[in-house]
Structure 1
Amino acid sequence: MAKSSNQKLKILYLMKIFLEATDEDNTITLNEMITELERYGITAERKSIYDDIEALHQYGIDIATRKTKTTDYFVANRLFELPELKLLVDIVQSSKFITHKKSNELIKKIESLTSVHQARKLQRQVYVANRVKTMNELIYCNVDTLHIAISENRQISFKYFEYNLDKKKQFRNSGQAYVVSPYALSWVDENYYLISHYPKNSDLTHFRVDRMGEIKLLEEPRRTLAEIIGEKSLDIAEYSKKVFNMFGGEEVAVKLQFDNSLVNVVIDRFGKDVSIEKVDENSFAVRTHVAVSSTFLAWVFQFGNKVKILSPESVVKRYKENLQEIMNSY
């Protein structure tokens, strides 16, 4: 049988056919492989396909067989199992951080990791209440640039915006660029935040990545964490427990009393290592360090009389004043 001009591509197209068209529920026979290869302008003999299948198997493609009236071939195992791909699709679709356009692009790429048959099962709809997708398409480039700055210990400059009542972008700092030392990226409550040091502030500062624009890498080295917080590294998980929704504040050791029904809320917020002490049959107390901010007080307020700030007195006083201000507005 005469060989076609692109015969050298035969094994590559055969791998493509296996990966795209087969799985445990969808198999292919030797004759069907020959027919599929002809669609790519490639002629093949049965013996050469046997050799190619063996080569693909040695390469690492898990090609299995099943005996029926014929011998059926299929890819048995892949890098990602279908439930794992479904999980990835759900995360992408429901994430506020990822734009609609990028969500569709990423899901298409995830679908390519399985057969076309199983890919149909990934075309799911995940609905999340009050979910608003970000509108900043540059955020992916921003994240990449920030990672480079962090790994290379360099400062960055950027412009930071928010929306006004006309829903127009309005730059902070009179439109002037911020120059900061970046240390880490944290994904909190569906938003990416840059944890950095801005010279006008004594402590660490947080910026929403999707509100950053015109990010530039600078040659100047960033300030070390030891200069800012006296530590060589930053424990993001521990830091996130203390800082509520990335709103900073003075870090204080607080004692809180909770109704027993809120034990899962406490563990979700502060982690399983948080120290819990029984107060009575209906409540328990927790001692922890938090950055006391309006966001922290709002978090306490949402639980009504099921939470009580016990100490320090300065935080108790601030909470009472906050409650009184709310009452006075009505």
Structure 2
Amino acid sequence: MARSPNQKLKTLILQKTLLERTDEEHPMTVKELIDTLAAWDVTAERKSIYDDLEALRAFGLDIQSRKGKTPGWFVGERPFELPELKLLVDAVQSCKFITRRKSDSLIRKLEGLTSVHQARQLQRQVYVERRVKTMNESVYYSIDKLHAALSAGKTVTFRYFEYNVHKEKVFRRAGRRYSVSPYGLIWNSENYYLVGWDGAMGEVRHYRVDKMAELAVTCVPAEGGPEGFDVAAYAAKHFGMFSGREGKLRLRCENPMVGVVLDRFGQDVMLVPDGESHFTVTVDAVVSPQFFGWLFGLGPGVTLLSPDWAVEDFRRRLEEARRRYET
């Protein structure tokens, strides 16, 4: 009787079966492994199965056996433990810049890194359908291109758009391409931003990656950033990546606001006691509507002391809001 062409794949089929169908709670007996091989038209004896299992173990696969009520063989340690995969799945499903379709695709790939039984536990964690997701499918690949441009030190070009009330793309600058020397990528407020030198504007600016279209890496060397430019410091100054006037702001805060201030401005800021129940802090920040929204949300817990122009701007906005809601 002629041997099946799959016979020489016997060890590989065993490896695939063990990786996909076994874990500590779901071992497979030698008989079950033989039956699985038979479904592939591969014949095997018990001794040859043991030899193959030993070969896989020598190759680096963590093949373990268990005795008792549910004896059998299974894959123990894997590149990712189940809690780690759950963490990655949650990160993917919560990333606003990854589209729903790409999220589903990535999660399916993560499920392939464990057994089908444990993959079901990952599926119970997936609630992508109700999450707000970007409508720009190309963002996944744009990030890869931007990393390549940063590594190569090259300028990138792209068209930049907003959505109108009909959910249609409306390109800025009449559809002309932007040319930017990239300095870094920032993850802020559930969005990716490119920070770089915009030659047309003559200044450092930032752009949401999911609002870029037709992104291309050029052969033009990127321009060097301003001396001492720090991408992380740039991100820390911008509330929600909104643009505005930059200034050195002095805040007076109630003591329970320490955690809020440290979360927002980092552990390096200096807190100066001001009486028994307050402290002051001076920070570099960009004064924008987003900053004022943050400040208003903290109520009497935080007071803006200076500079005068920022205090006056905040006072004016509060007055406008008060008049808008007068009955």
Q: TM-score by structure 2 length?
A: 0.92
Stretch of structure 1 that moved more, 69-78 or 50-59: 69-78
Partners in 1 of 2:45 and 2:234 — Cα distance?
A: 63
Name the structure 1 match of 2:238: 243
Amino acid aligned to 1:108: R
| 8 A Cα contact 1:158 1:177, kept in partner | yes
Name the structure 2 match of 1:316: 311
Name the structure 1 match of 2:62: 62
| 8 A Cα contact 1:182 1:195, kept in partner | yes
- 1:55 is displaced (CA, Å) by 1.6
Name the structure 2 match of 1:290: 285
2:301 counterpart of 1:306: yes
Q: Secondary structure at the match of 1:161?
A: strand
Q: Secondary structure at the match of 1:318?
A: helix
Q: Secondary structure at the match of 1:77?
A: coil
Amino acid aligned to 1:87: L
Name the structure 2 match of 1:230: 227
Structure 1 segments unaligned to the other structure (5+ residues)? none
Partners in 1 of 2:240 and 2:131 — Cα distance?
A: 17
2:249 counterpart of 1:254: yes
Name the structure 1 match of 2:5: 5
- 1:34 is displaced (CA, Å) by 0.8
- 1:202 is displaced (CA, Å) by 4.0
Stretch of structure 1 that moved more, 99-108 or 196-205: 196-205
Could you report, residue by residue, the CA deviation over 1:18-37 in whole angstroms, capped at 9, with x for unpaired residues?
A: 11111110001111111111
- 1:250 is displaced (CA, Å) by 3.7
2:184 counterpart of 1:184: yes
Name the structure 1 match of 2:203: 203
Amino acid aligned to 2:118: Q
Could you report, residue by residue, the CA deviation over 1:244-289 in whole angstroms, capped at 9, with x for unpaired residues?
A: 1112334322211222332222222112232222223332222221
Q: TM-score by structure 1 length?
A: 0.91
Amino acid aligned to 2:318: L
Could you report, residue by residue, the CA deviation over 1:214-271 in whole angstroms, capped at 9, with x for unpaired residues?
A: 112211111011xxx212x6342x3322121112334322211222332222222112
- 1:295 is displaced (CA, Å) by 2.0
Distance 1:324 1:131, change over 3 A: farther
Amino acid aligned to 1:174: A
| 8 A Cα contact 2:27 2:71, kept in partner | no
Partners in 2 of 1:295 and 1:24 — Cα distance?
A: 50
Name the structure 1 match of 2:151: 151
- 1:209 is displaced (CA, Å) by 0.7
Q: Secondary structure at the match of 2:292?
A: helix
- 1:125 is displaced (CA, Å) by 4.4
Q: Secondary structure at the match of 1:299?
A: helix
Partners in 1 of 2:322 and 2:244 — Cα distance?
A: 24
Stretch of structure 1 that moved more, 135-144 or 317-326: 317-326
Name the structure 2 match of 1:79: 79
Partners in 2 of 1:177 and 1:93 — Cα distance?
A: 32
| 8 A Cα contact 2:179 2:200, kept in partner | no
2:321 counterpart of 1:326: yes
Partners in 1 of 2:59 and 2:279 — Cα distance?
A: 58
Kindly report structure 1 stretches of 4+ aligned residues shifted beyond 6 Å.
none
Name the structure 2 match of 1:193: 193
Amino acid aligned to 2:142: N
Q: Secondary structure at the match of 2:124?
A: coil
| 8 A Cα contact 1:94 1:126, kept in partner | no
Partners in 1 of 2:307 and 2:127 — Cα distance?
A: 42
Partners in 2 of 1:74 and 1:214 — Cα distance?
A: 48
Amino acid aligned to 1:282: S
Distance 1:251 1:58, change over 3 A: farther
Q: Secondary structure at the match of 2:206?
A: strand
Distance 1:124 1:265, change over 3 A: farther
Name the structure 2 match of 1:17: 17
Partners in 2 of 1:204 and 1:12 — Cα distance?
A: 54
2:167 counterpart of 1:172: no
| 8 A Cα contact 1:267 1:274, kept in partner | yes
Amino acid aligned to 1:279: D
Stretch of structure 1 that moved more, 316-325 or 209-218: 316-325
- 1:315 is displaced (CA, Å) by 2.1
Could you report, residue by residue, the CA deviation over 1:123-147 in whole angstroms, capped at 9, with x for unpaired residues?
A: 124669x942111111112111111
Distance 1:284 1:292, change over 3 A: same
- 1:65 is displaced (CA, Å) by 1.1
Name the structure 2 match of 1:114: 114
